[in-house]
Chains A and B, each alone.
Chain A
Amino acid sequence: MPTASPFGVDDLRRILREGAGADEAVDLDNDILDRQFDELGYESIALLETGSRIEREYGIRLDDEALGEVRTPRALIDLVNEQLPTGRTR
Chain B
Amino acid sequence: MSTATVVTGLGVAAPNGLGARAYWSATLARVSGIGPVTRFDASSYPVRLAGEIKGFSAADHLPNRLLPQTDRMTQLALASADWALADAGIVPGTLPEYDMGVITASHSGGFEFGQNELRALWSKGGRYVSAYQSFAWFYAVNSGQISIRNGMRGPSGVVVSDQAGGLDAMAQARRQIRRGTPLVVSGAVDASVCPWGWVAQLASRRLSGGEEPTRAYLPFDDDAAGHVPGEGGALLVLENADHARSRGARIYGEIAGYAATFDPPPSSGRPPGTRRAIESALANAGATPGEVDVVFADAAAIPDLDRIEAEAVSEVFGPRAVPVTAPKTMTGRLYSGAAPLDVAAAFLSVRDGVIPPTVNTSLSDRYDIDLVRDVPREAPVRTALVLARGYGGFNSALVVRAFGP
- CB of B314 within 8 Å of the partner chain: no
User: Once the chains are docked, how many angstroms separate the CA of A23 from the CA of B63?
Assistant: 7
Is B64's CB within 8 Å of the partner chain A? yes
Whether A49 sits at the interface, judged by CB under 8 Å, is: yes
Contact present for B127 and A22 (CB under 8 Å): no
For the complex, is B200 an interface residue (Cβ under 8 Å from A)?
no
User: When the two chains form the complex, which single residue of A23, A24, A41, A48 contacts B131, counting CB atoms closer than 8 Å?
Assistant: A48
Bitwise, A1-43 to B at CB < 8 A (1) or not (0) is: 0000000000000000011111110000000000000000100
Chain A residues whose CB sits within 8 angstroms of the CB of B63 once the complex forms: 21, 23-24
Stretch touching chain A among B65-73, B102-110, B189-197, B203-211: B65-73
CB-contacts of B285-302 with A (<8 A) = none
Contact residues, B59-84 vs A (CB, 8 A): 63-69
Residues 40-90 of A at the B interface (beta carbon under 8 Å): 41, 45-46, 48-49, 52, 55-56
- Tell me if A's interface is mostly helix, strand, loop or mixed: helix
B268 in contact (CB, < 8 A): no
> Which of chain B's residues have a CB closer than 8 A to the CB of A56?
127-128
Residue B94 at the A interface, CB < 8 A?
Answer: no
* Of B64, B66, B67, B131, the contact of A49 (CB 8 Å cutoff): B131
Question: Within 8 Å CB of B2, what residues of A?
Answer: none
Is B45 engaged at the interface, CB distance under 8 Å to the other chain? no
Distance in angstroms between the alpha carbons of A77 and B21 in the assembled complex:
50
Instruction: Count residues of B near A (Cβ-Cβ below 8 Å).
Output: 13
Residues of B within 8 Å of A48, CB to CB, are 131
Nearest residue, chain B, Cβ from A20: B68
Bound-state Cα–Cα, A41 to B64, Å: 11
Does residue B132 face the partner (Cβ distance < 8 Å to A)? Answer: yes
CA distance A49 to B64 in the complex (A): 16
Q: A45-B134, A49-B132 are in contact. Are A23 and B68 (CB under 8 A)?
A: no
CA distance A56 to B64 in the complex (A): 23
Question: Across the two chains, which residue of chain A brings its CB closest to B68?
Answer: A21
Q: Is the CB of A49 within 8 A of B130?
A: yes
Note all chain A residues with C-beta closer than 8 A to B127.
52, 55-56
Residues in chain B near residue A55, CB distance under 8 A: 127
A85 CB → nearest B CB, Å = 20
Question: In the docked arrangement, what's the CA distance between A55 and B125, Å?
Answer: 13
* Interchain CA distance A56-B128 in the complex, whole Å: 8
Assess the A22–B64 pair: CB atoms within 8 A. yes
Inter-chain CA distance A58–B65, complex, in Å, is 24
Q: Which chain A residues border B128 with CB–CB below 8 Å?
A: 56
Q: Are B131 and A21 in contact (CB under 8 A)?
A: no
Minimum distance in angstroms from B258 CB to a CB of chain A:
37
**Option from A18, A21, A52 in Cβ contact (under 8 Å) with B65:** A21
Chain B window 113-141, contacts with chain A (Cβ cutoff 8 Å), 1 for yes, 0 for no = 00000000000000110111010000000
**15 additional contacts (CB under 8 A) given A49-B68, A56-B128:** A18-B68, A19-B68, A20-B65, A20-B68, A20-B69, A21-B67, A21-B68, A21-B69, A22-B64, A23-B63, A24-B63, A45-B69, A45-B132, A49-B131, A52-B127
9 closest A-B pairs by beta carbon, nearest first, are: A49-B131, A48-B131, A21-B64, A21-B65, A45-B131, A21-B68, A22-B64, A23-B65, A21-B67
Name 11 interchain pairs, CB-CB below 8 A, sorted by A.
Answer: A21-B64, A22-B64, A22-B65, A41-B65, A45-B134, A46-B131, A49-B130, A49-B131, A49-B132, A55-B127, A56-B128
